[in-house]
Structure 1
Amino acid sequence: MKWSFVIQQKLKASLLLGGIMLVIVLGTILSRRNIDGIDKSFSSIYKDRLIPATTIIYITENLYGKRLSLEKFLLKPDTNDKGKISALLAKHDKSIDSLIGVFEKTYLVDQEAKSLAAFKNRVGEYGLLEKMILNLHASGHSEEGKVLFEGAGANTFQSTLNNLNDLTEIQSVIGDELVKESKSDFASYAIISFLQVALAIIIGLIILVFIQNSKIINKPKVPKDEGQHFHLN
């Protein structure tokens, strides 16, 4: 009977410990996934959100540089150096194309890709208007060039900036979603870690109880006769 009871206790303890260990292993796997998710979110915030946001700033700077350079050129009637302003505008265009290339290498959501495509179209349209303005100025129609600059040129320039603003808003929304996702993964990781510690404590208590029961079962009993003789003595 004693050995049968011991075997039953060991079997129960083994099943219980096995179940707890399984839960701990599953918790470890989930924790690893949460950590990977947090790492992925932070990497995406830097590579796919922070870098594009910085790129947008530089693109805006180049766009305003083009606009102000051309305006300065048009405000000087005696200036006929078309080659110099053309080179300056081409330099800005090259910088903008390079920055757009950097932007395109990042991860883009559908709305972001559409806004970027619209922006590229506006940049192309504005570049054509610049060439038309310079040609008008070179052919002696500087006033018509100014009208084009202040009319269609201003409207296209504003549309280009609007597309950039749309991209900035998308960056902000996606970045906020990534931060929330990271917080959720971290909260899950904290809960799982707490459960793992709690289960480790439970395992320790179970082992202590099992050891204590084994001592009680294995403790030799004193025969009644020996106890009686002891009292008689």
Structure 2
Amino acid sequence: MKWSFIIQQKLKAALILSLIMLVIILGTMVSKNNIKGIDQSFSSIYKDRLLPATTIIYLTENLYNKRLSLEKYLLSETPVTKRDIQGDLSGYDQNIDSLIKSFEGTYLVEQEAKSLVALKNRIQEYVLLEKMIINLCQAGHLSDGKSLFEGAGANTFQRTILNLNELTAIQSHVGQELITESKGNMASVHNIMAFQISIAVVVGLIILTLIKNSQIISKPKVKKMKEQNFNLN
């Protein structure tokens, strides 16, 4: 009976320890996945949020420089050739195209992609207006060129800046979501670690209990052997 009891205890202990090991392994896998998610979130914050936010700053700078260059051309008292002003504007256009391609290479949410398409359309509209303004000035219609610059040109430029502001707002919102997600993953990792520590304590208690039970079982056996030796004497 004692041996069967010992075997039952060992089987129970083996089953419990196996379950505990399984739980620990699953917890480790979940923790690993959460840590991977945290790493991806931080990488995305840098690659898909911080860098594009910097790109938006450079886009804004180039757009304002374009408008200032055209304004100087319209207000200049000394003649500026069409080739010179077109060369200046073309340089800014190349910078803008390069920046937009860089922005498109990042991960874009749906609203972000739509806003970027709208921005590209506004930029193309503004480029066409610039050409019309320059052609009017070269044809001797300086006042008409200025009117177009201050009217439709100003409106299109403002809408372009609004598109950039919209992209900035989306960047901020998505970045905040990534930070919240990272905090959730970190909290999950902490909870799993605390649970694993608790499991380790439980394992220790189980081992101590098994040791104690084995001692209780062995003591009567030793006592019985002593009694047998006494009777023989």
Rounded Cα–Cα distance in structure 2 between residues aligned with 1:5 and 1:125: 88
- How many Å separate the matches in 2 of 1:30 and 1:78? 71
Name the TM-score, length of structure 1 as normaliser: 0.94
Pairs within 5 Å for 1:154-165: 154-165=154-165
Deviation at 1:198, TM superposition (A): 1.1
| Residue 207 of structure 1: how far off its partner (Å) | 1.2
Give per-residue Cα distances to partners, 1:72-128, cap 9 Å, x unaligned.
111014323221111010000000000000000001111100000000000000000
Q: Which stretch shows the higher mean deviation, 45-54 or 77-86?
A: 77-86
| Native 8 Å contact 1:119 1:163 kept in 2 | yes
Q: What is residue 92 of structure 2 aligned with on the other side?
A: 92
Q: Matches of residues 1-233 of structure 1 in structure 2 within 5 Å?
A: 1-219=1-219, 220-222=222-224, 223-224=226-227
User: In the comparison of the two structures, how many residue pairs are matched?
Assistant: 230
What one-letter code is carried by the residue in structure 2 that aligns with 1:151? G
Percent of residue pairs identical: 61
Deviation at 1:226, TM superposition (A): 6.1
Change (3 A) 1:228 1:87: same
The 8 Å contact of residues 38 and 186 in structure 1, kept in 2 or not, is answered as yes
Unaligned runs of 5+ in 1: none
Shift of 1:216: 2.4
How far has the Cα of 1:212 moved from its partner? 2.3
Partners of 2:27 and 2:45 in 1: CA distance: 27
Q: Distance in 2 between matches of 1:169 and 1:96?
A: 20
Instruction: Tell which deviates more after alignment, 56-65 or 221-230.
Output: 221-230
Distance between the aligned counterparts of 2:98 and 2:26, measured in 1? 47
1:34-66 CA distance string (max 9 Å, x none) = 001101110110111011100000000000000
CA distance in 1, matches of 2:230, 2:199: 45
Provide closer, same or farther for how the CA distance between residues 225 and 41 of structure 1 changes in structure 2, counting only shifts above 3 A: closer
- Give distance in 2, aligned partners of 1:21 and 1:41: 30
Could you tell me how far apart the structure 1 residues matched to 2:68 and 2:228 are?
A: 115
Please give the alpha-carbon distance, in whole angstroms, between the structure 2 residues aligned to 1:196 and 1:80.
Answer: 75
3-state DSSP class of the match of 1:221?
Answer: helix
Alpha-carbon RMSD across the aligned residues, in angstroms, is 1.6
Deviation at 1:211, TM superposition (A): 1.8
CA distance in 1, matches of 2:228, 2:147: 125
Residue range with higher mean Cα deviation, 217-226 or 21-30: 217-226
| Aligned mates of 2:206, 2:229 — CA distance in 1 | 36
- Contact conserved, 1:80 with 1:138, CA < 8 A, in 2? no
Q: CA deviation at 1:218?
A: 2.2
